[in-house]
Amino acid sequence: MQKYLTYILLATSTIAISQPINDDCFSATAISSVDNYCSSNGEFSNSDSNPDPMIPNSCFIGFSNGVWFSFTPAEPAITAQIQSGGIAGNVENPKMALFTGPCNNLTLVSCSPGSSRFNDELTVAGLTIGLRYYLYVETSQTGRFRLCINDFIPPPSPESDCVDGVILCDKSGFQVESLTTAGQDITELDSLFPGQCLQEEFNSSWYRWTCDQPGSLTFTLTPNNYVPGEPSDDIDFALFELPNGIDDCFAKEMIRCMASGANGTIDLNGIFVQDPFEEWERCSGPTGLAINDGMTSEFPGCVDSGDNNFVDAINMEAGKSYALVVMNFSRTGLGFSIEFGGTGTFQGPSPSFEVIDLDGLNCDKKLEVVNTSLVSPDPIINYSWNFGVDATPPVEFGQGPFEIEYASIGTKSIILTVETLNGCVVSEIMNIEIEPCCENNSDLMVDATTTDVICFGDETGVISVQGSGGNPEYSYSINGGDFLPNTVFNGLAAGVYDIAITDTKGCTNTNAVTIDSPPPIEVTVSADVTINLGEETQLFGNYTPMSPGDIISWSPIEGLSCTDCLDPIALAPGTTTYVLTVIDEMGCEDQDSVTITTELVRPLYYPNVITPTSNDVNSVFTLEFGPQVELIEEFTVFDRWGNPIFKCDNIDPQDPIFEWDGRFGDCNGSFQDFVNPGVFVWVAQVRFIDNVTLPYIDDVTVLR
């Protein structure tokens, strides 16, 4: 382990509206149980996270945009996975680092390779059961992701040759971080099993066991990078009987074989090109033995109608030995997890013990741990004890009995690990609850500082706590929640909060603090109104409280005399809802809206007779509109034979020059002789302010 001094808790802190609530170690998101824990897809985000103080490390962690989680393992090993891509999330190049606390003095335990674009995996053994760990997640591109953590009792390291294969002594599940080699003997599958679905060994791990109680055996192998609905590593396996006993791999007999996977073709460069995933999805992901499957083998690809990535379960016989080889055909280097099922059992020792209450199950009181393990045909040769957090002594070896004492309260885990003459390693875990031993005159206190919410009704309040007196280390609870070492509580609404503190002896104290809220911004606007198209109306806005620097804005902006004033004049281009938004200097805002309903009135006036050479009021032809018209796109006069005799385009309806005085020509001043008296047809294309264009056609009589 490497230990580094990190950063000191400040008296107060603030959190941006979109900042993750687990942006630093002091406010880490606590995961109550890591027994096969998985968040929902995209549940967590590191968007808008702030940089953390740099901790020197060799993990290529930059502490630039990470978020924090905490958990207490119930078993001595964990595998943590970050899943992204597809439905799981959208972060890229995730990395993880595991620490022990406290947050102002973190100790680096391990870190992940961070070598995949969308996924990352970290497996760590040798953890202290009951100790709180802190997991830091960082990515090259921020976004959302899925987090999975599982604690387990680790088996011995995987072996890639049958003769060295790990001996399993019970049906406890486990996880293997990586598969990277085929071992020393790479011919174990080549020639012994002609016609079987597997005839080559690659990236493998071997396991052996002997049946104790006869019965069925099932298991499920799950690739470490498995995400439902997405392609994952292709895990293959073969199951063997060992008729000459657990130590004779040469005479092994294959009884189950699984090699199904992706369909595809080999291109001209010799590269395997996969078919669309939906065509072979049923042969991807988890694999194993299943009751009533009906198949004893599945060959490469996903061609047969019965292919489903599982083969039939077996019925084990008492005293018979078996071997299992698991291989990663995808050769990514990643491993798998396995869960066993069925009614049959494996031979192995049965470690057990009991705890005798000598002075009461309290801290600072002595307990006696007595070994009660059963004697088996395979004798136990080693006993290893781990008594957990704050135990004296912390570890022991041998059969015991042992007297132990705990310096702190809470759930304590005692682990007995035994090893047999044949190499079986089995662990038994017992959890006991150590009660308080607090003295009545404890001087334990908790101080708290608050940061008020930024805007009325939001959840940006912060409480920072600091314990003193009593017996450090401290844990804190807010409003009756779980006690955690977190010293910062983010994302809080306005209100009164009860802060409780407890120390290692179980002493407690409380303090009540208040998070205040500014008054709400309340925006009001005038009532909805109905007008004719092209008419103006005034909008009236108001808000409280008013302060210098407030930002006032109306939207949409079309048809408004001003957009940053309270009372604009509106010439609405059709029925429109205008929204008034006010934002104060803290970024708090409120809105109200008013709808202007526009009646689609489109009046048009024109003469039907003109006398061009007279001084009458009807000496010229013109089109008269109301304010509804935006543009006369085209105006043309035709004679009785359909010949155009006068034409104008793109006429401003307010242009006083626009008129036809009965002469040949156009609006550009090219006037010629007057037309002979008669009836003429005119056509106009008129565009209105609501972006509607309508055609108009009629006739006009020209007299002399």
Burial 118-138 (b: 16+ CB within 10 A, else e): bbbbbbbbebbbbebbbbbbb
Q: Are 43 and 84 in contact (CB under 8 A)?
A: no
pLDDT at 2 over 90: no
Nearest-10 Cα torsion for 152, 157, 161, 166: -50
pLDDT interval class at 194 (50, 70, 90): low
Average pLDDT of the chain to the nearest whole number: 88
Q: SS3 for 428?
A: strand
- Grouping H, G, I as helix, E, B as strand and the rest as coil, residue 25 is helix
First to last CA, the chain: 110
Q: Using the predicted structure, report yes or no on whether residue 11 has a pLDDT greater than 90.
A: no
- What pLDDT sits at residue 550? 95
Instruction: Please tell me the predicted confidence (pLDDT) of residue 1.
Output: 30
Q: Taking Cα atoms as reference points, which of 574, 131, 49 lies closest to residue 388?
A: 131
CATH fold, domain 522-599, is Immunoglobulin-like (2.60.40)
Could you give the strand order of the β-sheet that contains 107-111, starting from the edge strand earlier in sequence? 2-3, 107-111, 95-100, 133-138, 67-71, 29-31
> What pLDDT score was predicted for residue 386?
92
Per DSSP, the three-state class of 636 is strand
Residue 313 pLDDT exceeds 90: yes
Least confident of 320-329, 629-638, 667-676: 667-676
Q: What is the mean pLDDT of residues 227-233?
A: 87
Task: Count the neighbouring beta carbons within 10 Å of the beta carbon of residue 228.
Answer: 11
Is the per-residue pLDDT at 57 higher than 60?
Answer: yes
d(CA 161, CA 154): 19
Question: What is the structure's pLDDT at 193?
Answer: 64
Q: pLDDT value at position 345?
A: 95
The DSSP secondary structure of 155-180, one letter per residue, reads PSPPBSSGGGPEEP-S---EEEEE--
pLDDT at residue 10 is higher than 60: no
CATH topology of domain 162-341: Jelly Rolls (2.60.120)
Structure pTM? 0.68
CATH T-level topology, domain 2-152: Jelly Rolls (2.60.120)
- Give the span between the Cα atoms of 513 and 333, in whole angstroms: 52
Inform me whether the pLDDT recorded for 670 exceeds 80. Answer: no
Per-residue CA distances from 658 to 625, 634, 644, 667, 671 (Å): 12, 12, 17, 7, 13
Distances (CA, A) of 480 to 5, 198, 500, 510: 32, 58, 8, 11
pLDDT at 354 over 90: yes
Say which DSSP state 458 is in. Answer: -
Pick the CATH number of 604-702 from 2.60.40, 1.10.1740, 2.40.50, 3.30.70: 2.60.40
For the chain, domain boundaries? 2-152, 162-341, 353-434, 445-514, 522-599, 604-702
Tokens 């019970």 belong to 170
- Distance separating alpha carbons of residues 581 and 592, to the nearest angstrom: 7
Integer angstrom CA distances of residue 57 from 94, 101, 170, 448: 16, 16, 39, 33
What is the arithmetic mean of pLDDT over 220-246? 92
445-514 is a CATH 2.60.40 domain? yes
pLDDT in the model for residue 230: 86
| Chain mean position to CA 122 | 18
285-306 in b/e form (b: 16+ CB < 10 A) is: bbbbbbeebebebbbbbbeeee
User: Do the domains at 353-434 and 445-514 have one common CATH topology?
Assistant: yes
**Token pair for 626:** 């109301």
Q: Which pLDDT belongs to residue 625? A: 83
CA–CA distance, 260 with 281 (Å, rounded to integer): 11
- Residue 16 pLDDT: 41
List residues bridging with 679 in a β-sheet.
701
Query: Is the pLDDT at 9 greater than 50, yes or no?
Result: no
* DSSP tag of 262: -
Report how far residue 293's alpha carbon sits from residue 316's, in angstroms, rounded to the nearest whole number: 17
Instruction: Name the class of domain 353-434.
Output: mainly beta
3-state secondary structure of 492: strand
- Which band of pLDDT confidence, cut at 50, 70 and 90, is reported for residue 18? low
Pairing of strands 2-3, 107-111: antiparallel
